[in-house]
Amino acid sequence: MKIATWNVNSIRARLTRVIPWLTEHAPDVVCLQETKVEDGLFPMDELTALGYQATIHGQKTYNGVAILSRSPLTDVTRGFGDGAPDEQARFIVGKVDGVRVASAYIPNGQSVGSDKFAYKLDWLRRCRAWLDGHADPAEPLALCGDFNVAPDDRDVYDPVAWKDQVLCHPDERQGLRALQDWGLEDLFRRHHALAGFYSWWDYRQLGFPKNRGLRIDHILCTGALAARSQDVVIDRNARKGKDASDHAPVIATFG
């Protein structure tokens, strides 16, 4: 079983890359972020034609998450359902082939100390609260998405320049760690210990050609699922060439 996560930076703008990618890699489940489209305009037919059903939680212009799956997705919920005012479509979860899968688009945070940064930290707290109230560390669960947090300095091309900056600040790293403390493992690090693996490169200033990247897209798994993990790869090829997202997909393979 293959589970992938990919911030596509607009599903409609990315279809010419997403469709051949799905054909090439044939993942069973794909968590998408930044679909940037309201539900009525989601390109459903193009994906169902490839054998995927799309379960979507979108909005106009910004954010938007989805889960593509070959098997039906059941027990679907959208948002945290915690009563907090939140019109931003950033979280969807369902169950497929016996695994609970969530697609999450953690707020970027813009800059340390900004209102958006405070919202990001609060969002991470709400995500932990969702785990506490709605999930079980003993069940097979994968929390996948663009976390907009590089877990440690191995995940940053220039840790000195990025020290205490947004995506690397200790407060957001602690927010991510609180999710792991609940009972989730950064699955990539189960298989790869070295520095220098990135999943996002800024469009600006030749970020990708110069390999100025950060690893901010993650697949976090409970132990029951992590025990079945065979490998995790970041598909840099999907970041290459014309009309690429600024994020590469992360693909986990389970036995």
- Residues at the site binding DNA, with contacts judged by CB under 7 A: 9-10, 12-14, 36-37, 60-63, 107-108, 110, 116, 203-205, 243
- Backbone region of residue 98 per phi and psi (left: phi > 0; alpha: psi in -120 to 50; beta: other values): left
Is residue 132 annotated as a catalytic residue, yes or no? no
Least separation in angstroms between CB 12 and DNA: 5
Catalytic pick among 28, 52, 105, 246: 105
Residues with Cβ within 8 Å of 166's Cβ and at least 6 positions away in sequence, in order, are: 108, 109, 110, 111, 112, 117, 172
Is residue 105 annotated as a catalytic residue, yes or no? yes
Closest to DNA by CB, 192 or 212: 212
Catalytic pick among 39, 122, 136, 146: 146
Least separation in angstroms between CB 185 and DNA: 25
Closest to DNA by CB, 28 or 246: 246
Nearest Cα to 184, choosing from 156, 154, 218? 218
Which neighbouring-strand residues pair with 7?
33
Closest to DNA by CB, 60 or 125: 60
Least separation in angstroms between CB 124 and DNA: 14
Closest to DNA by CB, 100 or 120: 120
Least separation in angstroms between CB 116 and DNA: 6
Nearest Cα to 42, choosing from 97, 95, 89? 89
Gap between the Cα atoms of 76 and 68, Å rounded: 13
Query: Do strands 141-146 and 217-221 pair parallel, antiparallel, or not at all (unpaired)?
Result: antiparallel
The catalytic residue positions are: 105, 146
